[in-house]
Structure 1
Amino acid sequence: MAESVDIATLDAGIERRGKQFFDSIRGETPGLFSKGHWTGKVMDWAMRNEDFKVQLFRFVDVLPYLNTSENLQRHIEEYFAGNESGDIPSVLKWGAEKSGMFGGFAAKAMGKVIRGNIESMAKQFIIGQNTREALKTLRKLRKDGFAFAVDFLGEATVSEAEADAYLEGYLELLDALDAEQSKWKALDAKGDKDWGHQPKINVSVKPSAFYSQAKPQDVPGSVDGIMERIRPIYRRIMEMGGALCIDVEQLKYKEITLELFKRLRSDPEFRDYPELSVVLQAYLRDTDQDLEDLLDWARAEDLPFGIRLVKGAYWDQETVWAMQAGWPVPVWTNKAESDAAFERQSKRILENSDLVYYQCGSHNIRSISTVMELAKAMGVDESRYEFQVLYGMAEPVRKGLKNVAGRVRLYCPYGELLPGMAYLVRRLLENTANESFLRQSFVDEADVSRLMENPERTLTREVECSPTTHPEPKAGPNGLTPFKNDPMIDFTIKANRAAFTEAIRTVRGKMGRTYPLFINGRDVETDDVLESTNPADTSEVVGRICQAGVGEIDDAMAAADRALLTWRDTPPRERAEYLLKAADVARRRLFELSAWQVLEVGKQWDQSYHDVTEAIDFLEYYAREMVRLGDPKRMGNAPGEHNHLFYQAKGVAAVIAPWNFPLAISVGMCSAAIVAGNPVIYKPSHISSVIGYGLVELFKEAGLPDGVFNYCPGRSRVMGDHLIEHPKTAVIAFTGSMEVGLRIQEKAAKAQPGQDHCKRVIAEMGGKNAIIIDDDADLDEAVVHTLYSAYGFQGQKCSACSRVIVVDSIYDRFMERLVEGAKSVKLGPAEDPANFMGPVADKSQQKTVGEYVELARQEGEILVERMPEDTDGACWVPLTIVSGINPEHRIAQEEIFGPVLAVMRAKDYDQAIEWANDTRFALTGAVFSRSPQHLERARREFRVGNLYLNRGSTGSLVHRQPFGGFKMSGVGSKAGGPDYLIQFMDPRCVTENTMRRGFTPIEDDDEWVC
C-alpha cells in the first residue's frame, strides 16, 4: 500500500508540471477545434451561438436516418433555414437557403457535401465502421506508440435478439484481434506485454447492451442476464491473454454494473485471472463511498483489479432526469467539484496501488499532473498506473502524455455510424460546454495559472463570490409553498427496493378481512359481500367488501346533504388543510398503499408507486387551487360600484371511480369535489374496492367531518342508477368506458321529482390512442416507449397506446425491433419486479380482451402472441401485436383496454396524421419524429387532449400535463389543471352600489376617467 500524501502540499509541483506540459504542446490544437478543417469551423460557430449548437447537434443525431436526398435536404432546411443568426457555416446556409433555386440536382449535391462532412466528423472519433477498418486504425496507433481499449458501439439494445447480436459482434472482434496481436510488437518492452506488464488486447463493454431487460428494481435478475453474455466474452479474452474493462453508464445501471464486476471477478472460473477493470465516474456524488466499498471488498476477497476513473459522460442527462423526477441531483453540479473528486479519488486509488491498477481517464492537464505528482511522491511504481484519453478528442494531450509518461491508452469506439452518432453527440456536448477543459485550453485560451489551480481553491473562491444559492421556495401570500410534484421512486436506492418487498409481505398478512361501508363517519356492514381477488392468483382473496344497496345510498345521501349545509360555507383555506393532512398521511403510507395495488389489481412496482404519488399530487394541487379560487375576485373597476365574483359548492357529488388508477383517480375526483365544498358519495370499482377503502383511512386520519366523505361500494345494477338519478345528486364525476359514460349523461339529463338543479357530469371515457413513428424517428427511443405505452400495466390505462402508425419508409426497421422487443419482455405477476407485464385485472377483463385477440386474428396478421408457461389461476391474456390493420377495422376503432397493439402502415406522414385522428376518441397521442416541421404539424393537426412529442403516450403528471380529452373521450375539463375545480362549483357575482348622495368611496383599484 502506497504512502499517503496531501494533495495541497504538492500543489506547487502540480502547477509547475502542468505548465511544462502546456509549454510542450503550445501551438497545437485538437482536430475538434482546428479552424483549418470543416469540423473545427462548425464547432467554432457552435460555441459562439447556442441556438445553432442545439440545431447542429440535433441534426448530427438524426443524420443516419436520412436515407434519401429529399429527406436529407428537407431536414437541412428545417434545421438551418431561417436561422436568425447570420453566423452559420456557409455550406449549411447555402444548402438551406439556395437549394430551392437550383432544383433537385443542387439539393442532392449540397446534401451529399453536408453528409460527407458530418460523417467525416464522426469518423474522426470512431476507429472504423467494421473490423477491417478498426484493425487498420489500431495498427497505426500502435505504430505511433499508443495502446488501445476497444469499445463496440451500439449499446441501446431493445431486445434479446439485439443483445445476442451484440455478443456475436464482440466475439467477432476478439477473433480478429487475436489473429492480429501476434504481429504486434510490445510497446516499450520486450516480450508479449505492453510496457512489460499490460496485455496488448484491451476491450471495454457496456453491460446494458448484453441484456435488454436490465432495470434497477431487479438487480439480481439484471446481473444474471448480463452475466450470461459477458461470461463468453471474458472467457475468450482470458484465452487470448487480454484485458476487459466494464464501463459504467447511466446512474440507473451503476449498482448492477458494480455487482456484475464483483460477480465476474470472484467467479471461480476467472478468479485467478486479474485482468478485469471497472469504471468509476468522479462526477457522481456517491463515488467516494463506492470506491471505499470496492477497496474493502477486494481486500477481503484478496482480488487485485483495475479501476478506470473518469469524470463522466452523462452529466446533462443525469441532471435533467433527476430534476424531472424530483430527486436530488446525483452529480456534482459544479465542474470544480468533479475535478476535486477526481483528484481525491485518484489519491485513494494510488494509496492502494498494491491492489488496484489505476487507469487515469482524463484530458484535464491539471488532473493528469496531479496523478503524476501523487504517484511520484507516494512512490507508486510506474507499472501500477497508466493514462487514458479518448480517440480523436485530444491529440495534443495524448502526444504530450506519450512524451512525458509513455503509458497512454486510447479509448477507441468502433461500429456503425448510427450508434456512432449518439456517441458523437455526447462527446460534442461534453467538449463544447463552457466548463470543458479542452475548450478552455484550446479555444478560449484561458490563463494557464487558472487552468492549473487546485479545484478546492476554485470552489472556495466561487462560493465566496456567489451572491445567492438556490433556497427552497418560500410560501406565497396564501401561506403555501408553490406546488411541486411528489418525487418518483428511485429504484437505484436499495432501501426503496427493500421497502417495497417488505410492504408486500406486510399487506399480504392483512388480506382477507371484511370491509364495511363508511357513511356519516360510521362503519356500516351489509349482508351482501363481494370478494376481491389477486389477478395473479384468483384463489387468493384480497378482501371481502360489503355492498351498498338503495337504502344505504339514501342514508349516505341524507348524511351528505346535511353535511353540505356547513361544509360548503367552511372557509376554502380550512377545507384545503384537510387535503394537505390527507396528503401527509398518504406520503407516510406510500409503500403500503402501493403494495395493495400490486396485489389487488396487478400493477407493477413503479406504476403502483406513481399511482399513489399522483394521488398525493392531486391532494396538494387541488388544495392550493381552492385557496387561489377561494378569494372573491373584483370584476371591473367602474366607480360607484363593487362587483365581486366568487364560487359556491354545487351540492352532493357522486364519484364513480375506475379500477385502473384505483387510488389516484379516486382521490383526484373525491378531493376536487370535497375541497370545492361538495360532500361526496364514493363508489369505487368492485375490482379495486380494497384500495378504495384506503380513501376512508386517509380522510378519517385527516379529520374530515362526518358526512363529507361516504364510502359506498355496490353493484351497479342494484344502486348505480339510483345514485345517478337521485334528486339530491348535483355533480357526477365519472371515469370509465364510453358506453357507461354516455349512459350516465343520458340519465343525469332527466330531471327527477324534487330536483331543483341541473346536474353536472364530468366524465373521462377512454381513448383509442395512437403513436406515430415518422421516417426519422429515433428507434432506440421509439421502440422502448411504444412497448411501455402499449403494455405497461397490461395496456389497461385510458392513455395506453393501442395503435402504432408507422410511416412506410421506416416500417420494416421499426417493426423488426418492436417485434423482437415484445418477444423479450418478461411476463409474470407484478410482485416480481423483473416482470414487465402481468395478468389483466379480473376474469371479466380476461374474457373481453380475449375476444378482441380473436378479432385481431380475423382482421390482421398476428405477429406476436405471448403468454407465460404457467397461467393457472391467473387472469392471463396474450401480449399481442397485430399488423395489416386499416382505419376501417374494428381493432383500429374500438377501445380494448388490454395488451393488444394494432400496427398500421401509413404511406407517409400526411396519412399517419389522418389515420391518427380517424376515431371517435381524442384522449392521448404521441409522435416520434426529429423533423421540426412535422412536430409543429402534430401540434396543430393531431387533435387529442394530451399530445406527447418524442415520448410515450402514458404518464401524465398533475399540473405539468393536465389530463383529459374530448370527442368521445370525455366531457369536462382536464384533471390536474387550473380549471378542474370550477366544474364542481357555481360562480356567483354580487354587485354593490357604493354611491350615497353623490358620495363615492375611492379605492386603490378604482379608475376615474375625466
Structure 2
Amino acid sequence: MSNSNDVLNTRIRARGREFFESIKGEAPSIFNKGWWTGKVMDWAMRNEDFKVQLFRFVDVLPYLNTSDSLTRHIQEYFGGDDQEIPSVLKWGAKGTGWGGGLAGKIMAKSIRSNIESMAKQFIIGENIKQGLKTLNRLRKDDFAFTVDILGEATVSEEEGIQYQQSYLELLDGLAKGASSWKALGGGEGQDWGYAPKINISIKPSALYSQARPSDFAGSVAAICQRLKPVALKAKEMGAHLCIDMEQYKFKDITIEVYKKLRSDSDLVDFDQLAIVLQSYLVDTDHDLAHLLAWSREEDLPIAIRLVKGAYWDYETVIAKQSGWRVPVYTIKADTDAAFERQSRKILENSDICYFACGSHNIRSIAAVMETALELGVPEERYEFQVLYGMAEPVRKGLLNVAKRVRLYSPYGEILPGMAYLVRRLLENTANESFLRQSFVEGAEMDRLLEDPAVLAEEEREARQKQDQPSKAIPPFVNESFADFTLESERKAFPQAIDQVRQEMGGIYPLIINNREVVTEDKIPSYNPADPDEIIGQVCQASRQEVDLALEGARQALPMWRDLGPQDRANYLFKAADIARKDIFKLSAWQVLEVGKQWSQAHADVGEAIDFMEYYARDMLRLGQPRRMGRAPGEVNHLFYQSKGIAAVISPWNFPLAISCGMTSAALVTGNCVLYKPAGVASVIGYGLADIYRKAGIPDGVFHFIPGRGRIIGDYIVEHPDISLIAFTGSMEVGLRIVNKASVVQTGQQQVKRVIAEMGGKNAIIIDDDADLDEAVLEVVYSAYGFQGQKCSACSRVIVLENIYDKFITRLVEAARSLKIGPAEDPGNYMGPVVDRSAQEKINEYVDLAGQEGNILYRSDVPEKGCYVPLTIVDSITPEHRIAQEEIFGPVLAVMKARDFDQAIEWANSTRFALTGAVFSRSPKNLDKARTEFRVGNLYLNRGSTGALVERQPFGGFKMSGVGSKAGGPDYLMQFLDPRCVTENTMRRGFAPIAEDDDWVE
C-alpha cells in the first residue's frame, strides 16, 4: 500500500509541476497590482489592521446611499492619523477639505465604483439579463456554469418564499438563454455529451426563515416543501440542481433534505439532483460514507460536489464562543488531506456517484486527475469546478487539460453580493491561501505540491511541543451551550421532559437543616402552557419555619464562616458537577414550570453551573490574606470574613441561574443562607436545594423556605439576625426591601447590606448603516426570546429615520413568521408567559400600546394557556408610558429618531440603566455609544440579552439596581466584611527583614 501511495504521489507532483508550468507568468486579476483592486489587496495582505478596516468598509458600502454618508465612513475607516493606508486611498481619506468639496465627492465616488467593480469581478450580473450576457461569454470560452442567487439571510417567511420564486424565475430565464447555446465539447444536446446545459445551486436555509437544529424534523419538512417545486421544475426542464452546504448548524438538515427529495416519488428518476460536502468538516468522512451506503441501499444514483469550505473563521469562532467541539480541521493541511481522501472515496464509487471536484488548489486538482486515471474512472463521471472570478489562470489551465470545467457563478443585487465578496477576499488574503502562496508569495513549488497528510503531521507535532502542562484547578471556562446539531442532544430534551412528567405532581416540602418539612399551607405550581397540568404542590413557610431556619443558621454560622475557602469552594465544585450531569432534566423542569424554550432552559442551567465554578475560583483568590504596605517593622494583612446570615430572594425568569448565583456567592463567602424562591418557580427552586443537599452542604448552612411574600417577606427582610439581602425582581419590591432594610431593629448588630437587581427598559439603536440581516433577527430574539420576560429584554427599538421604513417592514414580517405555542415543542419560537397574573398585566399593556401608538403587528395566540400576543407598536416617543414602564412581556415599541444623537438621548431617557445595544458600522457612532449610552451592559452589533458569567458581568444602575455586577470580579466583595490585622515585629530594636520590604537592597 505504501509503494502504491508513493507512486501515486510521484504522479500527482509531476502532474502539478506540468500545471504550474502551463500557467507560468500568469496571475489572477485580483492580484494584478496594475489595477486598483490589486493594489488594495496587496496592501491588505501586508497590513492586518488595514485588511480588517477594508473588509468592514466593503461590508457596509451598499448601505451608504448618500455622498455625505459615503464620505463620512471613508474618513472613519481610513482617516485616522495613526492609520497606514495605500496611496490609492490616502488622498481621499486624509485630504484637506475632503469632507465637502467637489474633489472629495469625486474621490468618494471613485472608491465606491472601484469596490463595486471588485464585487462584480466575482458576480456574473445583478439581474438575469446581465447574467445571461456573462454566461454567453463564458460558454463561448468553453466553460460550463452553475448559477447561485446571492443572499442567504432570510429573516421572514415572506423572504423565504421570495427566494423560492427567484429560483423559479431564474430557471425560466436560463431556459430562454439555453435555446441558443451550443453544447460544449461537441456533444449533442447536452454539454460534453451527458451534462445538462442549465445548472443551478441553491442554499436550503434561505428557503425557510425558521430553520434551526433544535426543530430538526420541522426544518427538514419546511425546506423540502419549498425546495420541491424548484426541483420539479429543474427536472421538467432537464436541468441540474445542486443543494449547497452552508454553516455547520444546517449540515445534517441539508443532508436529510437531500435524501428526502432524492427518494421522493416525484423525483426518484431525477438523477441530476446533487449535494455539496465540505472537506474542512471533521464529520465529512462519516457523512460521505453514509450517503454512498444509502445510495446503494436505495439504488438511487447521487451526485456530490466536494469543496474545501468557505466558513472556516465563522465555524471556529462560533464553536469557541459556545464551548463546542470545533467542527472544522484547525490545521489547513488536514482539510487538503481530507479532500484527497474523500475524492478517492467518491471516485471509487463512480458507478453510483457523479463527482464535481471544487478546488483551485493545483495539488488537489492533480490528485483527483491522477486518482481517476489510476481507478479507470470514465471522464463522464466527474468534472472540475472553480469559482467565477477567483483564479483565471487555474481555470484556463484546467480547461486545457480536463476540458470539463464549470464555473460557480453567483448573481444578484450588490448588497448581498458584498457579503459574498468578503468571503472571497478572506479566502484570497488568508495566510494559508493556496492562491496567495502560488501567485503572490511565490512559495516553493515542491512545498505546494507536497502530500498534505505529511504537512498536517508536521504541524501537529509542532503544536504538541507548545502545549502547556495543566494546572491543579483549570481556569474558568463557561459551560457549553446546547448543541442541537447533535442528535443525542435533540433526543435528550423530549426524553427528559417525559421523565419529569412521570415525577411531577407530588408535594414539595421545605428543607430546613437538611431535613424536609411539610406544612399544611400549599400552593400548586402549574404549567403555563396548560394550567390544568400541575407541576407540584409546594409547601409554604410561615414565620415559625423561618425562625426554625434562622436558629439553624445561627448555630451553623461559626463553623461555616471559619471553614477554609478551599473547603467551601469544593462544595460548589461538587454541586456544579451534580448539575452538569443532570442538565437536561433540570432544563426540562424549566420548560414545563415556567415555559422556557429548550435552548434558553439549557442556557439557564449552564449559567447556574458557571456561577458555582466562577465564584468558587474567585473565593480562592479572595481567601488569600493580602500583604498591605511595605514599611519595615510591621506586617499588615487584609482579609475577609462573611457578613453572617443572608436572605436570598430570587426571581422566576432565571429560576435556577439567578437563584444559584446569589446563593452560591453567599455560601462560598461563608454566609449561611435562607433561600426564598419565586412562587411560580418553586419546584425548580427545590431542585437547587436538592443539588446543595447532594453536594453535602452541612446542616444549618442552607435552608429552602418558599412562602407567601405577604406572610414572610417583610419578616425576613426586617429580622435582626439577617445581615444581607440579595434580591432580583421588580423595582417596586426592590425599593421596598431597601427601605425596610434601612430601619435598624431591636437586637440588630449590623447595617444590612442590600444587593438588588431590579429590571430595565432596554433599548436597541438601529443606525442607518446597520446590517439589517443581523439587526432584525437580533432585535426579534432580544424582544421575544422567552416571551420578553428577561430584565435584559429589548422593549424599545430606536431606528434612524433614513432606514426606518425598511427596518420595520422586515421586522414585522419576521415577527409574523414566528410560531407561538408550548415551549416543549422546538418548532415554537415563543411560548406562554409565566402565569395568569402576568398574562393579565401584559394584556393591559397591549391595550395601552394601541391607545398610545399604532399597532404594526399583534399575533394570534392559542386559546388555552397563559399566552399573550406578540406585539409591535410604533409612533412612540419618550413621553409615552409604553416607552417608560417595564412590561416584562413581548411588547416592542418602535421609535423613529432623526439622527444618532437623538437616538442616544432617547435611549437614556428612562429611569432604568440595565442593558442596551447598538447596530452600527460607523466607528465614530460606536465610540459615541461607548461613552454616552449609559447602561450597565452595552452590546455593540449584537442583541441586548445573553450575558455570560465572567465574559459579560451583569448588572445596571439608576433604578435598575444597586450592587456590583453578577459574575464579575468584585461581586463576592458584597458578601464579605474586610478586616486588617497589623503586627508590630520590632523587638528591642531588631526587626526581621522580609524579602519584599522596600528598603531591602
Same-fold call, TM > 0.5?
A: yes
Counterpart check, 1:751 vs 2:744? yes
| Contact 1:4/1:378, CA 8 A, preserved across alignment | no
**Aligned residues of 2:985 and 2:992 also touching (Cα < 8 A):** yes
Counterpart for residue 803 of structure 1: 796
Secondary structure of the 1:567 match is helix
Please tell me whether the aligned partners of residues 98 and 104 of structure 2 are also in contact (alpha carbons under 8 angstroms).
no
Inter-CA distance 5–590: structure 2 relative to 1 (3 Å threshold):
farther
- Percent of aligned positions that are identical: 66
List runs of 5+ in structure 2 lacking aligned partners: none
Q: Report if aligned partners of 1:964, 1:970 keep a CA contact under 8 Å in 2.
A: yes
Conservation of the 8 A alpha-carbon contact between 2:917 and 2:944? yes
What are the residue-to-residue correspondences of 1:12-411 with 2, within 5 Å? 12-82=10-80, 84=82, 86=84, 88-98=85-95, 100=97, 103-411=100-408
- Match for 2:757 among 752, 761, 764? 764
| 2:796 counterpart letter in structure 1 | R
Is the 8 Å Cα contact of residues 332 and 456 (structure 2) preserved in structure 1?
no
Hey, what does 2:938 align to over in structure 1? 947
Q: 1:910 aligns with which of 890, 901, 906?
A: 901
Superposed, 1:411-560 pairs within 5 Å as 411-466=408-463, 468-471=465-468, 474-475=470-471, 479-560=472-553
Name the structure 1 match of 2:971: 980
Give the Å deviation of 1:60: 0.3
- Give the superposition deviation at 1:89: 2.4
TM-superposed deviation, 1:464? 4.3
Offset at residue 99 of structure 1 (A): 5.2
1:24-70: per-residue Cα shift (whole Å, max 9, x none)?
A: 11111101111121111110011011111110011000000000111
Offset at residue 273 of structure 1 (A): 1.4
Structure 1 residues 979 and 527, CA, compared in 2 at 3 Å: closer, same or farther?
same
3-state DSSP of counterpart to 1:22 = helix
Aligned length: 1001
Which residue is 1:698 aligned to? Answer: 691
Decide whether aligned partners of structure 1 residues 803 and 271 sit closer, same or farther in structure 2, where only a CA change above 3 A counts. Answer: same
Contact kept? 1:366, 1:451, Cα under 8 Å: yes
Q: List per-residue Cα deviations over 1:706-760 (Å, max 9, x = no partner).
A: 1110000000001100010001010000000000000000000001111111000
Mapped contact 2:768–2:800 kept (Cα < 8 A): yes
Matches within 5 A, 1:622-661: 622-661=615-654
Q: Could you say what secondary structure the match of 2:100 adopts?
A: helix
Deviation at 1:106, TM superposition (A): 2.2
1:785 counterpart residue number: 778
Which SS does the other structure have where 1:468 is aligned?
Answer: helix
Q: Pick closer, same or farther for the CA change 1:692–1:978 going to 2, 3 Å.
A: same
Shift, 1:191, TM fit: 1.6
Change (3 A) 1:7 1:206: farther
Match of 1:592 among 585, 590, 593: 585
Residue identity in the other structure for 1:229: R
CA contact (8 A) 1:7 1:374 kept: no
Q: CA deviation at 1:463?
A: 3.7
- Whichever residue aligns with residue 403 of structure 2, its letter is G
Letter in 2 for 1:31: S
Q: 1:565: Cα distance to partner? A: 1.6
In 1, the alpha carbon distance for the partners of 2:8 and 2:121 equals: 37
CA contact (8 A) 2:513 2:701 kept: yes
Measured in 1, the distance between the counterparts of 2:576 and 2:989 equals 53
Find the aligned partners of 1:143 and 1:434 in 2 and give their Cα distance: 35
Contact 1:99 1:107 in 2 (8 A): no
1:456 is displaced (CA, Å) by 1.3
Opposite residue 435 of structure 2, the aligned amino acid is L
**Aligned position for 1:961:** 952
Q: What SS does structure 2 have at the residue aligned with 1:831?
A: coil
CA RMSD of aligned residues (A): 1.3
Q: Is the 8 A contact 2:954 2:967 kept in 1?
A: yes
Q: CA deviation at 1:468?
A: 2.1
**Contact 1:366-1:452 at 8 Å conserved across structures:** yes
Contact 2:92–2:98 (Cα < 8 Å) also in 1: no
1-side partners of 2:100 and 2:800: how far apart?
26
> What does residue 729 of structure 1 align with?
722
| Distance (whole Å) between structure 1 residues aligned to residue 467 and residue 501 of structure 2 | 43
Change (3 A) 1:640 1:688: same
Q: Deviations over 1:257-308 (max 9, x none)?
A: 0000000100000001100110000000010000000001111000001100
Give the equivalent residue in structure 2 for 1:871: 863
Contact 1:189 1:196 in 2 (8 A): yes
Partner of 1:713 in structure 2? 706
* Partners of 2:241 and 2:339 in 1: CA distance: 22
CA distance in 2, matches of 1:898, 1:5: 69
Task: Please give the secondary structure, in 1, of the residue aligned with 2:465.
Answer: coil
Give the aligned residue type for 2:20. Answer: F
Structure-2 change in CA distance of 1:886 and 1:226 (3 Å): same
Residue 586 of structure 1, CA deviation? 0.3
Deviation at 1:101, TM superposition (A): 5.0
Alignment CA distance shift 1:161-1:631 (3 Å): same
The amino acid across from 1:44 in the alignment is D
- Where 2:662 maps in the other structure, the secondary structure is helix
1:793-832 → structure 2 map (5 Å cutoff): 793-832=786-825
Q: State the alpha-carbon separation in 2 of the partners of residues 5 and 547 from structure 1.
A: 78
TM-score, length basis structure 1: 0.98
User: 2: distance between equivalents of 1:522 and 1:862?
Assistant: 53
Give yes or no for contact 2:72–2:99 (8 Å, CA) kept in 1: no
1:944 partner amino acid:
V
Distance 2:756 2:652 in 1: 15
**Structure 1 stretch displaced more, 174-183 or 351-360:** 174-183
How far is the alpha carbon of 1:466 from its aligned partner? 4.8
For residues 603-622 of structure 1, what are the alpha-carbon distances to aligned partners after superposition, in whole Å with 9 as ceiling and x for unaligned? 00000001001000000000
1:194, 1:242 → 2: CA distance? 11
CA contact (8 A) 1:5 1:377 kept: no
What secondary structure is seen at the aligned counterpart in 2 of 1:697? helix
Residue 579 of structure 1: aligned partner: 572
Relative distance call for 1:53 and 1:888 in structure 2 (3 A) is: same
Residues 220 and 253, structure 2, Cα contact 8 Å, conserved in 1 = yes
**8 Å Cα contact 1:684/1:712 also seen in 2:** yes
**Deviation digits for residues 800-830 of structure 1 (CA, Å, limit 9, x no counterpart):** 0000000110111111111100000111111
Matched residue type, 2:911:
R
- Report what 1:923 is aligned to: 914
Amino acid aligned to 1:42:
V
Q: Deviations over 1:832-867 (max 9, x none)?
A: 011110110000000110100001010000011012
Q: Which amino acid letter does the alignment assign opposite residue 749 of structure 1?
A: S
**Quick one: distance in 1 between partners of 2:971 and 2:99?**
54
C-alpha distance in structure 1 between counterparts of 2:745 and 2:579, whole Å: 38
Indicate conservation of the 8 Å contact 1:487/1:613, yes or no. yes
Aligned partners of 2:331 and 2:459 also within 8 Å: no
User: Does the C-alpha gap of structure 1 residues 83 and 171 become closer, same or farther in structure 2, counting only changes over 3 Å?
Assistant: farther
1:474 to partner: Cα distance: 2.3
Structure 1 residue runs of 5 or longer lacking an equivalent are: none
**How far off is 1:189 after superposition?**
2.6
Cα distance in 2 for residues equivalent to 1:364 and 1:416: 29
Q: After TM superposition, give the deviation of residue 182 of structure 1 in Å.
A: 1.4
